Amino acid sequence: MAKGIDMDSIKKGGSSLGKDSSKANTEASDSNAHENHSQDNGSIEATQENLAVNARSKGPLPRTPVNRDSEQREQPWKPAPILPVPDKRDGIDHRWVRSAMRGQADNINVSQALRDGWIPVLSEDYPELQIINDRNSQYQENVEVGGLLLCKRPTHIGDKIRVHAMAEVRGQMEAVDRNYFREESARMPMLEAERRTRASKFGDD
C-alpha cells in the first residue's frame, strides 16, 4: 500500500523554495545594481579625466577683455577753485605770494619772498592754469590772481629752512625750561616739563 503524501511537508518545502528563490533574485538584483553603479562611477571619472586632459592640452582659456572705462561712475561736477593748483613737478615747491593788498602793490612782501628763494613762475610754463592776468598787473608774464603771485622754489631750500625753523623752536623751548628750573629748590623740586599730548574721547577721565 502506497504511503500517503504529507501535504504539510509539501507546502513547507514549497514555501522554503520560494523564499530561497526570492532571496537569490534580490541578491542578484543588488549585485547587478552595484555593478551598474560602479560602471557609472567609472564612466564619470573617465569623462572627467578626459575633460581635464583636453583642458590642459588646450592651455588657459582666453579672457574676455573688459572695458573699465565704461564701468566707472560718472564724476559729479565741481566748481573750479579761485586759486588754481599747478601740476606737481619733481623737486619744485609752489606758493602763492601776496603781491598787492587793497589795490596797492606790496613790493616789500614780494622782495622778502625773493630773498627766501621764491621765484615768480612764467605763465607759458603753466598752461594748465588757464590764467588771464589783470590789465594793470606789473607781472604780465607771470601768474597773478587777485593780488597773489604764484612762485616756485627748489625743494631742498625749503627743507633747509624747515630744519632751521625747528632748531630755533627747540632753542626757545630749552630757554623756557632753563628759566623755569632756575627757581627750583632742593627741598621742593619742581615737576619736569611734559612735552607730549594725549587725545581722549568725550566723557573719558
What per-residue confidence (pLDDT) applies to 69? 58
The candidate with the shortest Cα–Cα distance to 118, out of 147, 137, 95, is 95
- Rounded CA-CA distance 144/156 in Å is 25
Is residue 123 assigned to a domain? yes
Q: Could you list the residue range(s) of the whole structural domain that residue 115 is in?
A: 92-154
Cell digits for 6? 504529507
Is residue 77 assigned to a domain? no
What per-residue confidence (pLDDT) applies to 11? 47
Element (H, E) at 184: none
Is residue 127 assigned to a domain? yes
Element (H, E) at 146: none
pLDDT along the chain (205 residues), means of 10: 48 48 54 54 66 62 62 81 89 94 90 94 91 82 91 94 91 81 66 62 55
Cell digits for 82? 579761485
Is residue 79 assigned to a domain? no
What per-residue confidence (pLDDT) applies to 10? 46
Is residue 107 assigned to a domain? yes
Handedness of CA 88, 89, 92, 98 (dihedral sign): negative
Overall domain count for the chain: 1
Distance of CA 189 to CAs 133, 174, 177, 184, 196, Å?
64, 18, 14, 6, 21
Element (H, E) at 175: helix 155-181
What per-residue confidence (pLDDT) applies to 182? 73
